[in-house]
Amino acid sequence: MKISIHSLAIFALGLVSWGDASAQETNSATLKTILSNKQFVFKAQSAWPLQGTVIQLTNGYDMKVLQDSINTYLPYFGRAYSSAYGSEGGIHFTSKKFDYKLKEKQKGGWEITIRPTDARDVSELSYSISTNGYATLQVLSNNRQAISYYGVIEKKN
């Protein structure tokens, strides 16, 4: 039986629970609202390159999603097929033109697909989010191998 890394991460995230059921419903409703309104921050806690093991990250790596822009500051580990002259490495960009699709999963949680049209290197950002705010972000690039990040979704202040 073949089990994907993504499935294992979602399974592990599903085992975590916060408090009683009414508190979870409130958190889930709040989470749905901030995802629908595009007012959240994904705080990365670990990275999983396509070839390699999980790398624990220090604080400060995130992706801010606002109604009119996306600001991404994430490290990159993996193979790059080409590099722009003078680039600082990592996945660092701001996008003002992007497609944003939010889809509710059948068994709870959400999937978000973001396709920036004004970012040179990144072609797609895919989130899988549990009802208690844990998330997996997969970044697909034009010039690098894919990479996944695990972290939490928080309300943008």
What is the distance between the alpha carbons of residues 151 and 133, in angstroms, rounded to a whole number?
9
Q: How far apart are CA 135 and CA 9, in angstroms?
A: 9
Taking the CA atoms of 116, 122, 123 and 126 in sequence, report the sign of the dihedral they define: negative
Tell me the C-alpha distance between 114 and 101, whole Å: 7
Q: What is the pLDDT of residues 17-48, one digit of tens each?
A: 334 443 445 488 899 999 999 999 999 999 99
> Do 121 and 138 form a contact (C-beta atoms < 8 A)?
no
Place of tokens 């970012």: 119
**DSSP H helical ranges for 1-136:** 5-14, 21-36
Q: Which residues of 50-64 are buried (b: 16+ CB within 10 A; e: fewer)?
A: eeeeeeebeeebbbb
Domains parsed from the chain with CATH numbers: 5-155 (2.40.128.410)
Write out the two tokens for 5.
Answer: 């890394």
pLDDT higher than 90, residue 139:
yes
Res 123: pLDDT: 92
pTM of the predicted structure, to 2 decimals? 0.80
Among the residue ranges 19-33, 56-70, 105-119, the one predicted with the least confidence is 19-33
pLDDT of residue 142: 86
CB neighbours of 103 closer than 8 A, spacing ≥ 6?
A: 110, 111, 112, 113
